[in-house]
Chain A
Amino acid sequence: MAQHQVNYLKDGGLPVALTSIDKVVNWGRSNSLWALTYGLACCGIEMMASGASRYDFDRFGTIFRASPRQADVMIVAGTLTKKHAEFIRRLYDQMTEPKWVISMGSCANTGGMFNTYATVQGVDRVIPVDLYLPGCAPRPESLQYAVMMLQKKIRSEKAIKAQKPKRLM
Chain B
Amino acid sequence: MRSYTPKDDVQKKSYYTDRYWVAPQVPKSDVSEDAVFAADHAELRAHFEILEAYIQRDQMVVYIHPKDNYAVLEFLRDHCGYTQLSELSAIDWIAQRGGFEVFYQMLSMTKRKRIRVKCFIGENEAINSVEKLFRSADWSEREMYDMFGIKVNNHPFLKRILMPDDWEGFPLRKTYPLQGDEFAAWYEVDRIFGKEARDIIGPEIRDAARVDRYDTERFARLGYEVPKGTPFDPNQPKTSLAYQEEGGVFLIEGFDEEKSTIISDRKR
Q: Is B213 an interface residue (CB 8 A)?
A: no
A111 CA to B207 CA, complexed, in Å = 11
A120 CA to B180 CA, complexed, in Å = 11
Contact B244 A85 (CB under 8 A): no
Given contacts A83-B163, A89-B192, A117-B171, contact A17 B251 (CB under 8 A): yes
Contact B177 A145 (CB under 8 A): no
A17 CA to B252 CA, complexed, in Å = 13
Residues in A whose Cβ lies below 8 Å from that of B250 = 17, 19, 23-24, 27
Contact A134 B219 (CB under 8 A): yes
Q: Is B164 an interface residue (CB 8 A)?
A: yes
In-complex Cβ contact of A118 among B163, B189, B191, B201 (8 A)? B163
A113 CA to B208 CA, complexed, in Å = 8
In-complex Cβ contact of A117 among B176, B197, B205, B218 (8 A)? B176
Counting contact residues on chain A (CB < 8 A from B), the size range is 20 to 34
A168 CA to B194 CA, complexed, in Å = 13
Contact B205 A110 (CB under 8 A): yes
Residues in A whose Cβ lies below 8 Å from that of B133 = none
Contact B200 A169 (CB under 8 A): yes
Residues in A whose Cβ lies below 8 Å from that of B163 = 83, 118
A17 CA to B249 CA, complexed, in Å = 13
Within 8 A of A (CB), among B250-268: 250-252
Within 8 A of B (CB), among A155-169: 155-156, 168-169
Q: Is B241 an interface residue (CB 8 A)?
A: yes
Residues in A whose Cβ lies below 8 Å from that of B180 = 116-118
In-complex Cβ contact of A115 among B176, B179, B181, B197 (8 A)? B179
Given contacts A27-B252, A145-B241, contact A82 B192 (CB under 8 A): no
Give the one of B178, B205, B218 with max A CB within 10 A: B218
Q: Is A121 an interface residue (CB 8 A)?
A: yes
Given contacts A117-B180, A145-B243, contact A169 B205 (CB under 8 A): no
Residues in A whose Cβ lies below 8 Å from that of B188 = 82, 85-86, 120, 125-126
A83 CA to B162 CA, complexed, in Å = 9
Shortest distance in angstroms between B261's beta carbon and chain A's nearest beta carbon?
Answer: 15
Q: Is B9 an interface residue (CB 8 A)?
A: no
A155 CA to B250 CA, complexed, in Å = 10
Q: Is A32 an interface residue (CB 8 A)?
A: no
A67 CA to B8 CA, complexed, in Å = 49
Instruction: Other than A117-B171, A117-B176, A120-B188, give 7 A-B pairs with Cβ distance below 8 A.
Output: A17-B250, A115-B179, A117-B178, A117-B179, A117-B184, A125-B188, A148-B243
Contact sample, A vs B, 22 pairs, CB 8 Å cutoff: A17-B251, A23-B250, A27-B249, A27-B250, A27-B251, A82-B184, A83-B164, A86-B191, A86-B192, A110-B205, A113-B208, A115-B208, A116-B179, A117-B171, A117-B176, A117-B177, A117-B180, A118-B163, A118-B184, A120-B188, A134-B219, A152-B242
